[in-house]
Structure formats: structure tokens, C-alpha cells
Chains A and B, each alone.
Chain A
Amino acid sequence: MSELLRRYGLSLTIFFIVMVAFWLLILVILPYIYLFEASFRLYLPVDQMGGPQDVYTIKNYASFFVTPIHRWVFMVTILYSSVVTVICFVIAYPLAYYLAKVASNKLVPTLFLIIMVPLWVSEILRSFSWFIILSLKGPLNYALVGLGIIDEPIRWISGFQSVIIGLVYTYVLFMMFPVYNAIQSLDSNQIEAAQDLGSPWWRTHWRVILPHAKPGIASGSVMVFMLAAGSILVPSLLGSTTSRWFTEIIQQWMFESQDWNTGSAYAFLLLLLCTGFVSVVMRLFRVTLSDIAR
């Protein structure tokens, strides 16, 4: 604090502190506290608010645990978000390695641009495009039938496969960039040294490159998992009746039942899930928060 005062004087220091306090208190901490508090209240008509029935209760959370379908959807969301995270890693790692260590310096910016363009196209249009590609009469089936690979159009949009495809496509770049950054900071001499000492390519990756890319992988996994589990657009556009996502249930509470209290309880569960995932990854990869957020 004293350093701040010395460098910027009193009025600027106060300005900085006020800005940060506004952000962290009004925009971040207080809303979370209210979310937490509201999740323990009952959903009541306006005239009964503050009345004798307005008490704290765990009924909202209980409704999650006694409704098997909600529990199931929650587990399925965790499962498939993890699957998406793993697939993203499997796709992103070779790509990131290629961009960081194999591709020539002249080529990299152009390749980056080609990879970036889909990221700039907004998420909703990307999901929409997959909706069209995967639809029963869409280009994919048309091409596959035309090439004689399949005889009949496949109904892609059923179950979770289309949701997974959509999520992977939408979020794979959030895995690629951190992994790329991590691999790029590895000294190429280390890779060559491993090769000179007779290490096969897979062991070079396993013992040299992967350990170095660890913070990048952790950061990418956290982002992809959080975005996938919290995604609304992709599951509701590419999902079918048999594939429900946890966010869709939250949405149902908020908009269809207008029960904001139960909705906030469910939202809080989602928040817990993501926080839990972050801490597990941090423990597992032995990285700190400042490694993850870069």
C-alpha cells in the first residue's frame, strides 16, 4: 500500500482502490453471497416475503437430491464435460506441438490466423453451423451417402454425440493456446538432447515435453471443462430430448418455473462443481492459480 502511495500519490491511489473495490465487491463478491443466501430461501409470493414463512431451509438443495433425473443429469454433465476436455487435449496437443516446434516461423502466423477465424465467428453461429452440418438432410450425410460410405443418412443429432462434437469444436482452442504457449517456452535443445540420447519419440513427449507443458494443460483443462459444463447454447441447439445438460435444468427453474431460489441453489451447485474441478486440477498438476490464468 505504501509503495502505491509513493508511486502514484494519494488521489490516484484512492481512485485505483475505489475501482477495484467496486469491481470485486459490487460485481463479484456480493452477488455470489446473495446467490448463496437466496439458495437457502423459499420461493414465495411477493406478499409473503419477510413473513413467518420466509425462513432459511435446505429444501432447494433437497429437491436436487430427491429428484433422480436431476442427479443423473448432473453426473452426465460432469462425465461428458470430462470427455470433451480429454478429446480437446488429444486434438490440441499434437496441433500445439506442431505449431510450436515443427512448423516454420514464416508459416506460423498464417496458420494461427486460419485456426483463429472460427474463434472469431461467434459461438452461436458455430453451434448453428454444426446443427446444419449434422442434420439429417445436411451436407455430412449427403457427402457420406454420395461417397458410398453409408447407405442411409445417420441421425447424428441424438444422444450426446452431437453435443460432444459441438463442444469440442467450440472450445478446442481454449486448450490449444495455453498448451502452445507452454510448449513454445521449452528449449528445443532439450528435445534434441533427448533424441540424441536415443529416446524414442513417445518417450521424448512423455518425459520431456508433457511435463513442461503441464501448466498449459492444467489451464486448458480448467477452461474447457468450465465452459463445457456451463454451456447453454451448444446443448440446447445440438442436444435432443435424450440429452439434457445441467444448465438447461437451471434455465428451467429460472424461466419456466420462475423459481429463482431453487434456480440459484442449482447454479450454486454448478459453481461448486467448477470450483472443485479447478482445485482438483491444481492439486493434480501441482500448479498455482497464477499459472492457470495466463
Chain B
Amino acid sequence: MGGAAFNNSRFPSVYPWVGWTDRWFIDLFSDGRMWNAFKNTILVALAVVVISVPIGTSAAILINSLQGRLRTVLYGLMVAPILTPGAVIGISTLLFWNRLSVPSGLHLSTLGQCSYISAFVMLLVLARLQSFDRGLEEAALDLGATYGQVLRRILLPHLYPAIGAGAAIAFFQSIENFNTTLFTRGPYDTLTVYVFSRVRSGITPTINALALIMISVTLLAAIAYEVHRRRRERMLAGLVSGDPEAD
């Protein structure tokens, strides 16, 4: 399956081969619409992270200290957007804000995406909360810490790995998103919508150039992650065996 990602980039003009050219890349880089779409995608993704991470974290903390029926109902409501098709989220967001006379645009795409991406953050943080020792909180309160201090110095540091993972997932989910964005975007482009409209209106190798770049970036990120993971594993192994030579 990993091979398929390489496969595509060699097409559509692998055969017959007419020689090397960097024309498509130059075309791509001089395409103002592409750059605009790129900028929009990054902006939306950042906005989604900024909104959905606090929401998801609050939701996880809230649901963690609830029990019984209320918890079940709230949990169901929070998870529902994940199980809803993106098109439905997009259309309902569009209709709702349209009724409040808010025109469609990237701000609606951001809100629409947040509605289900917050749920991912919530699930991640909630899982992390399970391993939290509540005694620490109580101890801090008994020793005279304020509620804000407890949150900032004790609970949040414990949750940071999950919050970080949540932010990363939110960012990439937002870049990936097509269905919700398509209905809410108004006249604006994001990268996925741009690629989609280009592919539909007849393929040119510029798209292949873009695909090649995007896939390379992905692969580089994957390799960087793997290298980082191995190094950390070795470090941990070194710590456990008490061998100071191990990196």
C-alpha cells in the first residue's frame, strides 16, 4: 500500500517518455490560486487547533467528573459528530449560520470542522485522564494552592502529551477535510478543494507535481517520526539498563 503512494507520482507522462522537464513545477509555483489555497488551508487549520483543543480538553475534564445518566447523554452528544457524514455537518452549519445572516466562508468551514475535531481531542484527553492520580489534586488544594494553580501546575502538565497529540490530529484532520469545507467554504479555496476542482476540470501534470511534493513532505515527516521514535526507544532502554553510554 505504501508503494501506491510512489506509483502515482510517475504518471501521467511516464509513457511515452518525452524527457525531463521542470515546467510543471514552475507552473505550479507561479499559480497564484494554489498559493492562496495553501494559505487558506494553513489559516483554517490553525484556527481549528486554537478552537478545538480548549473545547476538547474542557469537555474531557467535564465528562470525567460526571457520572450516571448525564454522562452517558453528554458523551453520546459529543461523539455523534464523528459518526456524522461530513456533508451533513457542512450543510447544517451552512444553514444555521445563514439563518443568522452570516455569509458562508472559511470561518464557517472552521466552525464546521471544529464540531467533530473537538470530539477527537476530547477522546484523546479523556483517555489520558484515566491515568491521572486525583490524590495529587487534593494534596495541592490541601496545601493551599488555588484552583488555577492546580489546573496549570498539576492537571495540564499531566495532560500535555494528549493535548499535543490532539493538536496534531486537529491540524492534519483540518488540512485533510473536504466534505465539510466544500459546503461551507463560500467562494474561498482550500488546498483539497483546489486539487479537486483541478482534477475535475481535466488533469494536467501540475497536479502531479503538487501531489509529488505533498507525498514527499508526508514521507519525510514519517521518516523523521520513525527516527525520533527509535532514538527515544534507545534512550529509554539505556535508562532502564543504567548504561550511560547508550544514547
| Residues in chain A within 8 A of chain B (CB atoms) | 1, 3-4, 7-9, 11-12, 15-17, 19-20, 22-24, 26-32, 34-35, 38, 109-110, 113-118, 120-126, 128-133, 135, 137-139, 142, 169, 222-223, 226-227, 229-233, 236-237, 247, 250-251, 254, 260, 263-264, 267-268, 270-271, 274-275, 278, 289-290, 292-294
Additional 11 contacts, C-beta under 8 A, given A128-B207, A290-B75, A293-B123: A1-B66, A16-B58, A27-B93, A28-B115, A113-B226, A117-B1, A126-B5, A227-B85, A260-B95, A260-B98, A292-B79
Q: Is chain B's interface secondary structure helix, strand, loop, or mixed overall? A: helix
Are B15 and A142 closer than 8 Å at their CB atoms?
yes
| Residues in chain B within 8 A of chain A (CB atoms) | 1-2, 4-5, 7-8, 10-12, 14-15, 54-55, 58-59, 61-62, 65-66, 72, 74-89, 91-96, 98-99, 111-112, 114-115, 118-119, 123, 134, 137, 146-148, 150-151, 172, 175-176, 178-179, 182-183, 192, 195-196, 199-200, 207, 211, 214-215, 218-219, 221-222, 225-226, 229
The CA of A275 and the CA of B84, in the complex, are separated in Å by 8
The CA of A22 and the CA of B219, in the complex, are separated in Å by 37
Are B77 and A132 closer than 8 Å at their CB atoms?
no
Are B65 and A7 closer than 8 Å at their CB atoms?
yes
Complex contacts, A229 vs chain B, CB 8 Å:
85
Are A270 and B222 closer than 8 Å at their CB atoms?
no
Are B96 and A117 closer than 8 Å at their CB atoms?
no
Inter-chain contact total with CB atoms closer than 8 Å: 228
Complex contacts, B195 vs chain A, CB 8 Å:
124-125, 128
Name A272's closest neighbour in chain B (CB-CB). Answer: B88
Are A124 and B8 closer than 8 Å at their CB atoms?
no
Are B7 and A133 closer than 8 Å at their CB atoms?
yes
The CA of A142 and the CA of B211, in the complex, are separated in Å by 22
Contact flag A254-B5 (CB < 8 Å), given A121-B214, A247-B85, A270-B85: no
Name B214's closest neighbour in chain A (CB-CB). Answer: A125
The CA of A38 and the CA of B200, in the complex, are separated in Å by 30
Complex contacts, B7 vs chain A, CB 8 Å:
129, 132-133, 139
Complex contacts, A20 vs chain B, CB 8 Å:
55, 58-59, 62, 74
Min CB–CB distance B88 → chain A (angstroms): 5
Complex contacts, B94 vs chain A, CB 8 Å:
260
Complex contacts, A290 vs chain B, CB 8 Å:
75, 79
Contact flag A34-B92 (CB < 8 Å), given A117-B219, A271-B85, A274-B83: yes
Contact flag A125-B84 (CB < 8 Å), given A23-B118, A293-B79: no
Min CB–CB distance A264 → chain B (angstroms): 6
Residue B137 contacts which of A7, A115, A247, A278 (CB distance < 8 angstroms)?
A: A7
Complex contacts, A275 vs chain B, CB 8 Å:
83
The CA of A137 and the CA of B203, in the complex, are separated in Å by 14
Min CB–CB distance B30 → chain A (angstroms): 21
The CA of A227 and the CA of B176, in the complex, are separated in Å by 14
Complex contacts, B214 vs chain A, CB 8 Å:
121-122, 125
Contact flag A138-B11 (CB < 8 Å), given A7-B137, A19-B55, A19-B58: yes
Complex contacts, B211 vs chain A, CB 8 Å:
125, 128-129
The CA of A121 and the CA of B176, in the complex, are separated in Å by 9
The CA of A30 and the CA of B95, in the complex, are separated in Å by 10
The CA of A116 and the CA of B66, in the complex, are separated in Å by 35
The CA of A56 and the CA of B55, in the complex, are separated in Å by 36
Contact flag A125-B8 (CB < 8 Å), given A267-B91, A294-B123: yes
Contact flag A132-B79 (CB < 8 Å), given A120-B222, A232-B87: no
Are A131 and B199 closer than 8 Å at their CB atoms?
yes
The CA of A289 and the CA of B79, in the complex, are separated in Å by 8
Complex contacts, B5 vs chain A, CB 8 Å:
117-118, 121, 126, 129
Name B75's closest neighbour in chain A (CB-CB). Answer: A290
Contact flag A34-B83 (CB < 8 Å), given A120-B218, A133-B7, A289-B75: no
Complex contacts, A237 vs chain B, CB 8 Å:
196, 199-200
The CA of A139 and the CA of B9, in the complex, are separated in Å by 11
Are A8 and B147 closer than 8 Å at their CB atoms?
yes
Complex contacts, B15 vs chain A, CB 8 Å:
137, 142
Contact flag A232-B92 (CB < 8 Å), given A226-B83, A274-B85, A278-B83: no
The CA of A115 and the CA of B3, in the complex, are separated in Å by 10
The CA of A293 and the CA of B91, in the complex, are separated in Å by 24
Min CB–CB distance B192 → chain A (angstroms): 5
Name B9's closest neighbour in chain A (CB-CB). Answer: A129
The CA of A129 and the CA of B168, in the complex, are separated in Å by 25
Name A24's closest neighbour in chain B (CB-CB). Answer: B77
Name A289's closest neighbour in chain B (CB-CB). Answer: B76
The CA of A227 and the CA of B88, in the complex, are separated in Å by 12
Name B15's closest neighbour in chain A (CB-CB). Answer: A142
